[in-house]
Amino acid sequence: MTDESRGIGGTVGPPWSVDVLADLHAGVLDDTETTRLWPLVNADPEARAILDALDATQADLATLADAPAPPMPAEFAARLDAALAAEAAAAFPKPRTAPEQAGPGDAQVVDLAAARRRRNKRLGWAAGVLTAAAAAVIAVTIAIPGTSQQTGTPNVAAPPPSGPSVGSDGSGAQALIGKAVGVRDFGPLQTEDKLDACIAAAGLDPKVRPEGIRPVNVGGKAGVMIILTTGKLAQFRLVAFGADCGPGNPAVLFDKVVGEK
């Protein structure tokens, strides 16, 4: 992404370079630069409009993963139906009628034992098909996550990750500070009480209120990130908890300090 009409001459500030805003939004700037730029960007309505457009684009791209698969083209569906019909006809040939089996004046003697053997063979083949089909249904049921053959409590699937993506070590999380300060979105934890239990399990003081709370996608795992002050200017402590955290299980996904050292 390039824009030579804004930020000419290396000036970092209004008018903003779209390249600078895109790098800030993507979290590729270093911690010091990120912490310095976010307050300036948030104070500029034009810069915020560009960042909002980037957020909307990111959200639109994320929905593509959940879009339904398109239907099979009619041409291929017809060819598949024809192939299945041919296989069925070969496996179960239609019996000929009496006039087809014998011409005028012809007498056919049917071996009753042979007829029974043919019938039993076909019945056995059909039973094998039904058994295989039942086995396939059971295999599919076992393979689908979240299904259970037990009558007890069904398996609870892990919540899908939401929010912006950061690295498993928290890389890129510093870029979220500007838009997360003042936010209280508990994401998969849902309530403040559940978050307090995670904070206590991690050895932190639940009485210290985070400056911001928001859901994050930590390397493909659903998490909730909190922003804590450190007592130093422009320095923050970022801690992310997994969706399964709770009493005795802090499930800390990352814990890092960013900003001025």
DSSP collapsed to 3 states, the chain? CCCCCCCHHHCCCCCCCHHHHHHHHHCCCCHHHHHHHHHHHHCCHHHHHHHHHHHHHHHHHHHHHHCCCCCCCHHHHHHHHHHHHHHHHHHCCCCCCHHHHCCCCCCCCCCHHHHHHHHHHHHHHHHHHHHHHHHHHHHHHHHCCCCCCCCCCCCCCCCCCCCCEECCCCCCHHHHHHHHCCCECCHHHCCHHHHHHHHHHCCCCCCCCCCEEEEEEECCEEEEEEEEECCCCCEEEEEEEECCCECCECCEEEEEEEECC
Contact present, 248 and 201 (Cβ < 8 Å): yes
pLDDT at 180: 86
Domain ranges of the chain: 18-64, 165-258
Reply yes or no on whether the pLDDT at 147 is more than 50.
Answer: no
> In whole numbers, what is the pLDDT of the chain averaged over residues?
76
pLDDT tens-digit profile of 91-117?
Answer: 777 665 555 554 554 444 445 556 556
pLDDT tens-digit profile of 34-71?
Answer: 888 888 888 888 888 888 888 888 777 767 666 677 77
Is residue 77 classed exposed, middle or buried when 0-12, 13-18 and 19+ CB atoms within 10 A define those classes?
Answer: exposed
Q: What angle do CA 224, 230, 231 make, to 5 degrees?
A: 145
* Residues above pLDDT 70, as percent of the chain: 67
pLDDT at 140: 44
Residue type for 107, please?
A: A
pTM, full prediction: 0.43
